[in-house]
Amino acid sequence: MKRMLTGLQPTGVITLGNYVGAIKQMVKLQDEYESYIFVADLHAITVPNDNLNLKDNTRSLIALYLACGIDPKKNTIFVQSQNEYHANLSWLLECNTYFGELSRMHQFKEKSKKSNNFTVGLLTYPVLMAADILAYDTDVVPVGIDQKQHVEITRDIAIRFNNKYGKTFNVPEPLITKTGTKIMDLLEPTKKMSKSSENQNGVIRLLDDDEVIRKKIMRATTDSETKVKFDPENKPGISNLINIYSAITDKTVEEIESMFEESNYGTFKKAVADVVIDELSRIKKRYYEYLNSDLIDIILEEGKKKTRVMAKAKVDAVKRKMGFYD
C-alpha cells in the first residue's frame, strides 16, 4: 500500500482553503493509502507570533482532523514536536541543501518581505518539511498549490542525497486536486484565502458560525456581469465560488455552470452558502464532542510511539550513509 502524509500548522484558524487543500483529500483517500497526518507545530514558530497558543491550538487541530472525518483507525496522527527526529533529520538535510535554492522559494520571498527581521527558520522551513516527508518514505503529499514548490524541493533534496550517498529516500509526489488547488479570498479573489489575512471577512474559518459564513459568502466580491461562468482571469470572484462549490459537492465546473445557467449571482451565492454551511455544521458539531474527549491523548500517544520508531530508523540510516560514528 502506498503511503500518504500531510501536515497543517496549528495557528488557531483553520480555513476552508486548508480543509479543501489538504484535509478533505486525506479523508477521501484514507482507504487507499497508509496515511499519516500531523500537526506542524515546529513550522508554526517560523514567524514570530506572541499570541500563538500552541497547546490549545494543537488539541483543537487534532479535534478538527477527527471531526472532518480523519479516522484514527486508518491514519497515524501525531505532533511534529513530539518526534525529535524531524528536527534531527532536518539538520542533516540542511547540510545538503543550498542557501540559493532556499532563498528562491516563493513563500520565503513573500513572507520575508513582510519584516526586515525574519528568522532563519523561515528560510529553512522547506527543509524541515522535507524531513517530515522523507522520514516516512512517503509516496504522496496532499497539499494546496501554494505548497507544491516545497514538495518539489523535497524531491530535489531526496534525489540529490540518493545520488550522493546511495538510495536512502523515497521520492514523493505532490497530490493536488484540480478544483481545490487554491481557494481565494472572498473579498480579494486574486489573493489566496489565508488565515493571516487582515480582513477576515474574506476568509471562511471552519469554526465560523453558520450566519457568519452566509454573510461572508453573500458579500463576496463578484463582477459586473450576471453569468455564472468559470473564468479565473476575468471573473476571479465567481470562479472562486464555483471552485468552492465544486470542492464541497464533487461536481465538475461544467456541471455547476449548467446547473446555474439561468441563475443570478444572488441565487448562486445562496446555493454556495448552503452547501458550505451544511458541510461545516456537521464538522462543528463533532469538533466540540472530540475536543474534550480523552481520545485525543490516546491517539497522540500511539502516534508518537509509532512515528518515533519509524523516523529514528530513517535518521540512523542517513547518519550511517553520511559516515557518522555509531
Identify residue 206 by its one-letter amino acid code. L
Contact assessment for residue 210 and residue 171, using Cβ atoms and an 8 Å cutoff: no
Question: Cα separation of 269 and 290, whole Å?
Answer: 31
Nearest to 169 by CA among 50, 326, 321, 16: 321
User: Is 229 a catalytic site residue?
Assistant: no
Single out the catalytic residue among 74, 148, 195, 229. Answer: 195
Residue 110 CB: number of other CB atoms within 10 A?
10
Q: Which is nearer to ligand TYM, 90 or 326 (CB)?
A: 90
End-to-end CA distance of the chain: 32
Cβ 262 to ligand TYM, closest distance in Å?
A: 29
Which of 2, 74, 111, 284 is flagged as catalytic? 111
CB-wise, 17 or 303, nearer to ligand TYM? 17
Of 2, 74, 148, 192, which one is the catalytic site residue?
192
Q: What Å distances lie between residue 74 and 31, 35, 37, 43, CA to CA?
A: 7, 7, 10, 25
Does residue 192 carry a catalytic annotation?
yes
CB of 18: closest distance to ligand TYM in angstroms?
4
Residues 40/80, Cβ–Cβ less than 8 Å: yes
- Where does this chain bind ligand TYM (CB under 6 A)? 5-9, 17-18, 20-22, 40, 43, 129, 132-133, 141, 143-144, 146-147, 150, 180, 182-183, 192-193
Active site residue 111: yes
Closer to ligand TYM at the Cβ: 90 or 222? 90
Using the minimum distance from each CB to ligand TYM, give the nearer residue, 132 or 277.
132
How far is Cα 160 from Cα 154, in angstroms, rounded to an integer? Answer: 10
| Shortest spacing between CB 61 and ligand TYM, in angstroms | 9
* CB 265, CB 228: distance < 8 Å: yes
- Catalogue the active-site residues: 111, 192, 195
